[in-house]
Amino acid sequence: MRDLVRTFFRRPAGIVGLVLLGLVCLMAALAPVLYPASPWEMTGVPFSRPGENGMLLGADTLGRDVASGVVHGARVSLLIGIASALAASCIGVLLGCIAGYAGGLVDMAIVRFTELFQTIPTFVLAILLVAILTPSLATIILAIALVSWPPLARLTRAQVMSIMRREFVQAARCQGQSTLSIVTRHVLPNAISPIIVAGSLTVAAAILIEAALSFMGLGDPNFMSWGYMIGAGRTVIRQAWWMSVFPGLAILLTVVAINLVGEALNDALNPRISRA
Question: At its nearest, how many Å lie between other proteins and the CB of residue 90?
Answer: 21
Binding flags for other proteins, 114-153, as an x/- string (CB under 8 A): ----------------------------------------
Minimum separation from the CB atom of position 165 to other proteins (A): 10
Give the shortest CB-261-to-other proteins separation in angstroms. 22
Question: How many residues belong to the site for other proteins (CB under 8 A)?
Answer: 17
Could you tell me what percentage of the chain is helix, strand and coil, using 3-state DSSP and rounding each to the nearest 5?
Answer: 80, 0, 20
Residue nearer to other proteins on the CB measure, 158 or 188? 188
What string of DSSP letters covers 61-130?
A: TTSBBHHHHHHHHHHHHHHHHHHHHHHHHHHHHHHHHHHHHH-HHHHHHHHHHHHHHHHS-HHHHHHHHH
Cβ-based neighbours of 177, under 8 Å, separated by 6 or more: 185
Whose Cβ is closer to other proteins: residue 171's or residue 249's?
171
Closest contact distance (angstroms) between CB of 258 and other proteins is 26
In the complex with other proteins, which residue's Cβ is closer, 125 or 188?
Answer: 188
Dihedral sign of CA atoms 86, 92, 93, 95 in order: positive
End-to-end CA gap in the chain = 15
Closest approach of other proteins to the CB of residue 92, in Å: 21
Return the SS3 of 40: coil
Min CB(4)–other proteins separation in Å: 12
Coil, strand or helix at 7 = helix
Mask for 154-193, x = binds other proteins (CB under 8 A): ------------xxx-xxxxxxxxx--x---xx--xx---
Neighbours of 147 (CB within 10 A): 25
Q: Which of residues 203-242 bind other proteins (CB under 8 A)?
A: none
Angle at 211 between CA 206 and CA 216, to 5 degrees: 125
Nearer to other proteins, 105 or 174 (CB): 174
Residue among 143 and 169 whose Cβ is closer to other proteins = 169
Contact flag: residue 9 with other proteins (CB under 8 A): no
Please identify, using beta-carbon distances, which residue of 178 and 222 lies nearer to other proteins: 178
Burial class (CB in 10 A: 0-12, 13-18, 19+), 250: buried
Which residues, 6 or more positions from 206, have their beta carbon under 8 angstroms from its beta carbon? 80, 81, 84, 85, 88, 144, 148
Instruction: Work out how close the CB of 196 gets to other proteins at its nearest, in angstroms, rounded to a whole number.
Output: 14
CB 255 within 8 A of CB 70: no
Nearer to other proteins, 64 or 186 (CB): 186
- Binding-site ranges for other proteins (CB under 8 A): 166-168, 170-178, 181, 185-186, 189-190
